[in-house]
Structure 1
Amino acid sequence: MKVVIIEDEWLAQQELMNILAEIDPAIKVVACLKSVTKSVTWLKTHADEYDLLLMDIELSDGQSFEIFEQITIEHPVIFLTAYDEYAIRAFKVNSIDYLLKPIAQQELKNALLKYQKVTKRTTDISLPNLQQLLHSARGIYKDRFMIQIGDTYQSIPVDEIAYFFSDEKTTYAVVHSQQKFLLDQSLNELQTKLDPHQFFRVSRKYIVHIRSIKKVSKYFHSRLKLKLKLAIPEDILISRAKVSAFLEWMDG
């Protein structure tokens, strides 16, 4: 497997190379690129020299999404970033997976296994076929949760959940009838299992369903204030860094 790393921090590049070597010594890093400009230049002339892109989002001269606006990339991508608000946009391009920094070796290994499953299923790597396979590789998102209530179990369809929230390291699902159910998964874990077209991580504490939103208002310091259809005991504020991604998600 021939890999290109697009990452503007030298230490992060070295860490990725070390992790890849530990996962599989046969993996070859053919290039390390630090910027949008250098990436576009290299990828234009070396399209046949790599199999997979490991791509940070925030680069020294812009965001890596700008690369896709300038050239056509027909190879799978694994995004590596410290920011979770770009997940929706990442899956609109050739993304196999979206990993949050610091990168765990097992998470990267799982993403590489996902890539291998995709490539084994076809010899046609044309862009339409690749995108169809990537969509399939991401798997089917959860459509229900099994909840334990005392000595009994109850299955709750995802569509009945208005939002998830965490409190004192405990995670809850709140349904439209305002019932609250305890979950044994963190919001970070839930975020990978929920359909990103239906759910959005609006803050560290909340993941909301699109249909639970009643009103979005401008707030101080370029933030947004979210009002849900259900009454909640506190304001949900969307940080300035998440505003663009949130509005794009709302727009579909």
Structure 2
Amino acid sequence: MRALIIEDEKLAANRLARLLVQIDPNIQVIGQIESVRKAVQQFNSGLKPDVAFLDIQLADGLSFEIFDQTQVPCPVIFTTAYDEYAIKAFKVNSIDYLLKPIDADELAAALQKFRHLAAPVPVSVTPNLELLQKAMHMLGQTPYKNRFVVKVGEHIKAIPVDQVDFFFSKEKATFLQTKENKRFVIDFSLEQLENLLDPQQFFRINRSYMISLPAIQDIVSYSNSRLKTFLRNAPEPDVVVSREKVNAFKNWLDR
């Protein structure tokens, strides 16, 4: 069995690697990766482990983001420091979750479970990311932002998230656009907003725009398998959905 460890804590990764070999000397740990970015790069380059152990919180974001950016070609076992009640909430679609510090017996049981899985990977072992994110949100571990504080001259104003049409970046600044066609500069990058906002309410369609569904006035097909959106009060007449985002965008629309 070829195992991949995706974990940003070096000590935890080394301990897991030792436990795996102790449980089964035939297990080969083919790599340790500490970030979402590097995991995506490795999977895109053709890395195909038999099983991957994913820490939920990595150095540059949540491991769920890996599934948004690439195809994970193997079953996964999430590892997490959340309490046992969170673990029970996360047990969906035949995915295992191991509580840190990882217990050797529980690890052995998880490995035994995956040995019974047939190849190719069944649909049932694909994590339901929406349910996982909901569970984490309910447990208060990744609370979504409810409002943004902005400056209006010498005044400070709080803008509720449900009043936001979209966010966009321009000339190294990030702007918040409200449903009332008001625009404010905020101190967050779009990358940060992806982790702060409810993914059911906002979607990052390209490098410059993160939008809400009510802001969309029309969507049309565009060249190179892309889509073109027309947003209410956008600073440009149309905004293109990146080709690599099209499928995920369609799934988001269909929720």
Distance in 2, Cα, partners of 1:243 & 1:25: 34
DSSP-derived class of the 1:27 partner: helix
Query: What is the TM-score of this pair, normalised by structure 1?
Result: 0.59
Distance in 1, Cα, partners of 2:156 & 2:188: 16
Is 1:238 equivalent to 2:241 in the alignment?
Answer: yes
Using the TM superposition, give the Cα deviation of residue 216 of structure 1 relative to its aligned residue in structure 2, in angstroms.
0.8
Q: Deviations over 1:166-203 (max 9, x none)?
A: 11110110101111101111111111101100100011
Would you say the 8 A contact 2:55–2:63 is kept in 1?
no
Structure 2 gaps of 5+ residues are 21-26, 28-34, 98-131
Using the TM superposition, give the Cα deviation of residue 31 of structure 1 relative to its aligned residue in structure 2, in angstroms.
9.4
Residues 162, 235 of structure 1: alpha-carbon distance in 2 compared, 3 angstrom cutoff: same
Using the TM superposition, give the Cα deviation of residue 139 of structure 1 relative to its aligned residue in structure 2, in angstroms.
2.5
Using the TM superposition, give the Cα deviation of residue 134 of structure 1 relative to its aligned residue in structure 2, in angstroms.
3.5
Q: 2:4 corresponds to which letter in structure 1?
A: I
**Residue in 2 that maps onto 1:38:** none
Is 1:127 equivalent to 2:91 in the alignment?
Answer: yes
Q: 2:91 corresponds to which letter in structure 1?
A: L
Q: Deviations over 1:120-163 (max 9, x none)?
A: 55675882597575443552211111111222110101111111
How many residue pairs end up in the alignment? 192
Q: How does 1:75-154 map to 2 (within 5 A)?
A: 80=63, 86=68, 115-116=80-81, 118-119=82-83, 121=85, 127-128=91-92, 131=132, 133-135=135-137, 136=139, 138-154=141-157
DSSP-derived class of the 1:191 partner: helix
**Residue in 1 that maps onto 2:191:** 188
Is 1:197 equivalent to 2:200 in the alignment?
Answer: yes
Residues 204, 30 of structure 1: alpha-carbon distance in 2 compared, 3 angstrom cutoff: farther
Q: 1:179 corresponds to which letter in structure 2?
A: K
Q: 2:83 corresponds to which letter in structure 1?
A: T
Would you say the 8 A contact 2:148–2:159 is kept in 1?
yes
Would you say the 8 A contact 1:171–1:186 is kept in 2?
yes
Distance in 2, Cα, partners of 1:214 & 1:248: 18
Residues 124, 222 of structure 1: alpha-carbon distance in 2 compared, 3 angstrom cutoff: closer
Query: What is the TM-score of this pair, normalised by structure 2?
Result: 0.59
Distance in 1, Cα, partners of 2:194 & 2:86: 29
Q: 2:176 corresponds to which letter in structure 1?
A: A
Q: 2:17 aligns with which of 16, 29, 41?
A: 29
Residues 186, 28 of structure 1: alpha-carbon distance in 2 compared, 3 angstrom cutoff: same
Distance in 1, Cα, partners of 2:48 & 2:214: 30
Is 1:161 equivalent to 2:143 in the alignment?
Answer: no
Q: 1:148 corresponds to which letter in structure 2?
A: K
Using the TM superposition, give the Cα deviation of residue 231 of structure 1 relative to its aligned residue in structure 2, in angstroms.
4.4
Distance in 1, Cα, partners of 2:205 & 2:77: 22
Distance in 2, Cα, partners of 1:219 & 1:166: 22
**Residue in 2 that maps onto 1:218:** 221
Residues 160, 219 of structure 1: alpha-carbon distance in 2 compared, 3 angstrom cutoff: same
Using the TM superposition, give the Cα deviation of residue 29 of structure 1 relative to its aligned residue in structure 2, in angstroms.
2.4
DSSP-derived class of the 2:168 partner: strand
Structure 1 gaps of 5+ residues are 7-15, 33-45, 47-53, 97-111
Distance in 2, Cα, partners of 1:122 & 1:224: 38
Would you say the 8 A contact 1:5–1:29 is kept in 2?
no
**Residue in 1 that maps onto 2:107:** none
